[in-house]
Structure 1
Amino acid sequence: MKQAVLRRAAAVSAMAAAFVLAVAGPAAAHVTVNPSTATQGGYTKVSFRVPNESDTASTTKLEINLPENAPVASVSIKPVPGWTAAPVKTKLATPIKAHDSEITEAVTKITWTADKGAEIKPGTFQEFDVSLGPLPETDQMVFKALQTYSDGTVVRWIDEPTTDGTEPESPAPVLKLAAASDASTPASAPAEADASGSADAEESNSGAAWGIAGLVAGLAGLVLGLLAYRKAAQGAGA
């Protein structure tokens, strides 16, 4: 009888642990763009946040692909100490207009490569800032990213958003674009709007919610396991 109760307690605890892992799964770190929203026709500074997910290898290179179907006329890269940025321009099939000028080529890829000693070590992250504008009149920009590790592993964050709202296995960073309102700053004034603070707060709140849910589930499993163990001990004593 005692062994059966103990087996039941172990099963309950295992189920609780599995639930905690399932809750933590969607919060797994991946390459993101922050802030995640901006205004069509405006300028913005975005940060590509790159966490290191390996326990043994460091991130040595990041490749960000800008969507060719939604080109941006002006792309400026903020230097990152210890990293070399290499932008690649592509001739546009259809030229775009920016400040009364016709733009025939645009940056479609940026590759950052780490110098020795500047790699993103396990348990750390790095941010790569880029100024973009005028932003295209489209609902979103999908930045397909490739993350290279020191052991040769390449993680491809290239999955586009799903139609049902679920997160794909390897999601690409996505910048949502809202239509400009009458109160918006005109596109002719290239002022960089840095909304990273609010985006960081939103991401932090989301992570905290997942963490609390996992903690509650873990505590519930622990309590159930202890109660089952106590019951088994009382039965054995009787």
Structure 2
Amino acid sequence: MPVQHTARTTLRAAAAGAGALTAVLALAGPAAAHAEVEADTPQALAENVTLTFVSEAESDSGGFTRVRVVLPEGIAPGDVTLADAPEGWTLTASADGYTVAGPALKTGVDAAYKIKVRQLPDTAQLVFKTVETYSDGKISRWIELPTDGAEPEEPAPVLTLKPAAPGAAPHTPGPSAGPDSAPGPDSAPATATSQDTPATGNPPAQEQAAAHDDGPSTVLVAGSAAAVLTALGGGWWLARRRTTRTD
């Protein structure tokens, strides 16, 4: 009896432990997907540094189609070139960063790519706010920073740098992207609440509409001009009629 009791107790403890582990993994599963960044030379003022970005898939019905990144201060869009990416994906510079996009990846496949940066800035940390788009329309925004020591739910990729090497000096920043490289409709967070959140660009369709739409002010001016011309014409006709009667 003591042996059987001990065996039953051990089995119950093991089952309870397995159940607790399963519950922990189930709770941690949805929050596991995130975006990460690594560098082959994580040092301030390092030159020709290759950064590797990995966006973990979290959609069950679509694959990645594009990844939008807002570059941190000190790295200009002109200082970035694409080093490696999924087949068919290309890099397009924007006003404050870049977009890597192409044919949709298979569902469940992580989006991994590499860029080469001309020179890293002289700072301790670099934050790369990232917006991911899937073929099923899902958008994930990894843009949050820790506040008051609390870990955010959607943390932005952060790269920690070592101090600059002795004698290292910053180069002149490269050219920025022109106005034609404005962010697209899903380029930035929809819930922009602080200056740390990148500004949202207008969708191309809206930009075209804004460029060609006359707007209510133009219609009002045209209507007012027509009314004035009508009034002047009516006044001239009345004056002409009175003159004819007098004659």
The normalised TM-score by structure 1 is: 0.56
2:122 is aligned with 1:137: yes
Q: Where in structure 1 do 4 or more consecutive aligned residues deviate above 2 Å?
A: 9-17, 19-26, 69-74, 78-81, 161-164, 184-188
Structure 1, unaligned stretches of length 5 or more? 91-107, 189-238
Query: Which of 122, 134, 147 is the aligned partner of 2:132?
Result: 147
* Secondary structure at 1:38 match in 2: coil
- How many Å apart are 1:130 and its aligned residue? 0.8
2:10 is aligned with 1:39: no
Matched-pair contact (CA < 8 Å) for 2:38–2:53: yes
- Please list, as runs of the form range in 1=range in 2, the aligned pairs for 1:168-207 lying within 5 A after superposition: 168-182=152-166
What corresponds to 2:71 in structure 1? 66
- How many Å apart are 1:46 and its aligned residue? 0.3
Matched-pair contact (CA < 8 Å) for 1:62–1:146: yes
What corresponds to 1:87 in structure 2? 93
What corresponds to 2:143 in structure 1? 158
Q: CA RMSD in A?
A: 3.2
Could you say which structure has the greater relative contact order, defined with CA pairs below 8 angstroms and 6 or more residues apart? 1
What corresponds to 1:114 in structure 2? 102
**How many angstroms apart in 2 are the aligned matches of 1:143 and 1:36?**
16
- How many Å apart are 1:79 and its aligned residue? 5.2
* Secondary structure at 1:18 match in 2: helix
**How many angstroms apart in 2 are the aligned matches of 1:79 and 1:20?**
33
- How many Å apart are 1:131 and its aligned residue? 0.9
What corresponds to 1:19 in structure 2? 24
Which one has a larger percent strand, Structure 1 or Structure 2?
Answer: 1
Matched-pair contact (CA < 8 Å) for 2:57–2:107: yes
Of 123-132 and 57-66, deviating more is 123-132
* Secondary structure at 2:75 match in 1: coil
* Secondary structure at 1:19 match in 2: helix
- How many Å apart are 1:133 and its aligned residue? 3.0
What corresponds to 1:127 in structure 2? 112
Matched-pair contact (CA < 8 Å) for 1:147–1:155: yes
Letter in 2 for 1:85: L
Label 1:177 to 1:150 Cα distance change in 2 as closer, same or farther (>3 A): same
- How many Å apart are 1:19 and its aligned residue? 2.9
The normalised TM-score by structure 2 is: 0.54
Alignment coverage as a number of residue pairs: 158
- How many Å apart are 1:66 and its aligned residue? 0.2
Label 1:85 to 1:16 Cα distance change in 2 as closer, same or farther (>3 A): closer
Letter in 1 for 2:105: I
**How many angstroms apart in 2 are the aligned matches of 1:37 and 1:162?**
28
**How many angstroms apart in 1 are the aligned matches of 2:58 and 2:28?**
18
Label 1:152 to 1:37 Cα distance change in 2 as closer, same or farther (>3 A): same
What corresponds to 1:102 in structure 2? none
**How many angstroms apart in 1 are the aligned matches of 2:133 and 2:162?**
32
**How many angstroms apart in 1 are the aligned matches of 2:114 and 2:131?**
16
Q: Which has the higher Rg, Structure 1 or Structure 2?
A: 2
- Please list, as runs of the form range in 1=range in 2, the aligned pairs for 1:100-111 lying within 5 A after superposition: 108-111=96-99
Matched-pair contact (CA < 8 Å) for 1:41–1:133: no
Label 1:16 to 1:48 Cα distance change in 2 as closer, same or farther (>3 A): closer
**How many angstroms apart in 2 are the aligned matches of 1:147 and 1:128?**
13
**How many angstroms apart in 2 are the aligned matches of 1:36 and 1:172?**
19
Matched-pair contact (CA < 8 Å) for 2:43–2:163: yes
- How many Å apart are 1:163 and its aligned residue? 4.9
Letter in 1 for 2:142: W
Letter in 2 for 1:177: L
Matched-pair contact (CA < 8 Å) for 2:62–2:106: yes
